[in-house]
Amino acid sequence: MQTRKLGNSNLEVSAIGLGCMRMSHDESPLPDKQEMITFIHAAVERGITFFDTAEVYGPFINEELVGEALAPFKGQVVIATKFGFQPNVDGSHGWSSLNSRPEHIKQVAEASLKRLKVDAIDLFYQHRVDPDVPIEDVAGAVKDLIQAGKVKHFGLSEAGAQTIRRAHAVQPVAAIQSEYSLWWREVEAEVLPTCEELNIGFVPFSPLGRGYLTGKIDENTTFASVDIRSRLPRFTPEARKANQVVIDLLAGIAAQKGATPAQIALAWLLAQKSWIVPIPGSRKLERLEENIGAVNVQLTPDDLREIETAISKITIQGERYPSNLQKLTNR
């Protein structure tokens, strides 16, 4: 597996990471825990060293799963987790509010350390920007945790360019995590240039469009009620049918390259910048191996121009999030 460095930090990770959320979140029934531990071990064996989780996934049980699975590989892998939501007090699925108050950040860090079974959190993201807490206070709290040896690197998720600059001035930001894929490119306007200027790594979540860009979802696909896609405008049957043109584009290039649409989508991301590390989520070995195979797909400048020309003529149908969730992004 090739490795990449996230920006200016000394944080070196596999060129493709693994998003672990759906191993114990947004699913009914939840996957078998032991099967997921075995799966994570298989990922390590295949060279994956970058794993993404969060306190709110579950809540709590995803961190416990990742911590247990990766305990035998201490010092060999990088685990990213997140703070910033107030999980439901009854332990039920979801969250009640944002909460990035400094005292809460420090409480979350202590709890995450225990669940992850680590001495220090490799990468600690603010999950979403909290408008009620100045970002300088958030960065200051993480700086305290770094100085105490409890966190190694600071990250932000779905933050806007000005917020990134303000945070970085207090505590250097190692990585920004936001959605980025061939069908969601908003970060190209301001966020990616800011990352390049400040030497910050970028970690695309949903790099396969929550599975859509694999070509295995169509207008007839059904989603469980707990699956977030059942509530997203971009995943209505009408939007899925209209957006099939994107899959057709990927499939055409994939056929030329002896690859799959998913591999082309990931290879396209890897080709954008050397400091971009996508974290597709998967729970099946064949999907994991397919995703890893993307690092061997070489897209030439001509290929990239062809993709750019074709995608520029396509209007993606459906908003990324409903309005109540959209307001949490790009602050």
Catalytic residues, by residue number, are 57
User: Under a CB-based contact definition with an 8 Å cutoff, are residues 168 and 162 in contact?
Assistant: no
DSSP string across 16-81: S-EE-GGGSSS-SSPPPHHHHHHHHHHHHHTT--EEE--TTTTTTHHHHHHHHHHGGGTTT-EEEE
Closest to 168 measured CA to CA, from 130, 128, 140 = 140
Strands 121-126, 95-98: pairing kind:
unpaired
Tokens of 285: 């070995």
Phi-psi region of 170 (alpha: psi -120 to 50; beta: other; left: phi over 0): alpha
Give whole-number Cα distances, 216 to 99, 208, 260, in Å.
37, 11, 11
**Is 37 strand, coil or helix?**
helix
